[in-house]
Amino acid sequence: MFNKVELLSTLIIFTRYPEPGKTKTRMIPALGAEGAAELQRQMSEHTLKTAQQWQKSSGGNIAIYFAGGNVSLMSNWLGKNLTYYPQVTGDLGDRMKSAFNQAFDNGATRVVIIGIDCPDINLTLLNQAFSSLAKQDLVLGKAEDGGYYLIGLNYLIPKLFQNINWGTSQVLAQTQNIANSLNLNTAYLPMLRDVDRPEDLFIWQKYQ
């Protein structure tokens, strides 16, 4: 039986229903619309498998926040034993802030958000992220492109998601500046590379 503290950890995965032409669009020149959608499908399933390893070892909760499709399509794809929420409208900051808020409202005390673009996220990193939140206000996984591949909080801090130039190389630096201005204790995970563009595909190939 899992103890109460473990049950209050929630891992949120941001993903998108793999509809051709509407996902992984920067990969379309190399893979075509169908190939890019297939990449989205495979990487989502890979990320979920890692998340389920974490869930099995920790007893935590997984929540899927999706764009495109609907709950029925998502549950038919990834399984009916998961919790699905449509992402709210707005920029990435709005969507993450809403997801954090909902998780905390549902009783979570440690919440981590990841996407599906970084296949090198593994069980060790997820455990490290949640463990860090026992002593830190914020945990960030640095991405090589200047963003972050993981963010974790133990209470909602709305300012972390405001006035950020999402999708640019400034995301991590701007987030760090806000964290410093709020005197947040911040932990960092090792730097990893996202699979966003055709030149990144070699990272994914080792998981094939």
Phi, psi dihedrals of residue 99, rounded to the nearest 5°: -65, -45
pLDDT band at 1 (very low <50, low <70, confident <90, very high): very low
Phi, psi dihedrals of residue 101, rounded to the nearest 5°: -60, -45
Positive/negative CA dihedral, 34, 18, 170, 128: negative
Domain with 84 in it: what CATH number?
A: 3.90.550.10
How many separate domains does the chain show?
A: 1
**Residue 113: strand pairing partners:** 12, 151
Q: Could you list the residue range(s) of the whole structural domain that residue 98 is in?
A: 4-205
pLDDT in tens, 39-78: 999 999 999 999 999 999 999 999 999 999 999 999 999 9
pLDDT in tens, 150-207: 999 999 999 999 999 999 999 999 999 999 999 999 999 999 999 999 999 999 999 9
For 116, residues 6+ apart whose C-beta sits below 8 A from its C-beta are 13, 14, 15, 40, 43, 44, 46, 47
CA–CA separation, 150 vs 174, rounded Å?
15
For 49, residues 6+ apart whose C-beta sits below 8 A from its C-beta are none
Residues 13, 115 contacting (CB under 8 angstroms): yes
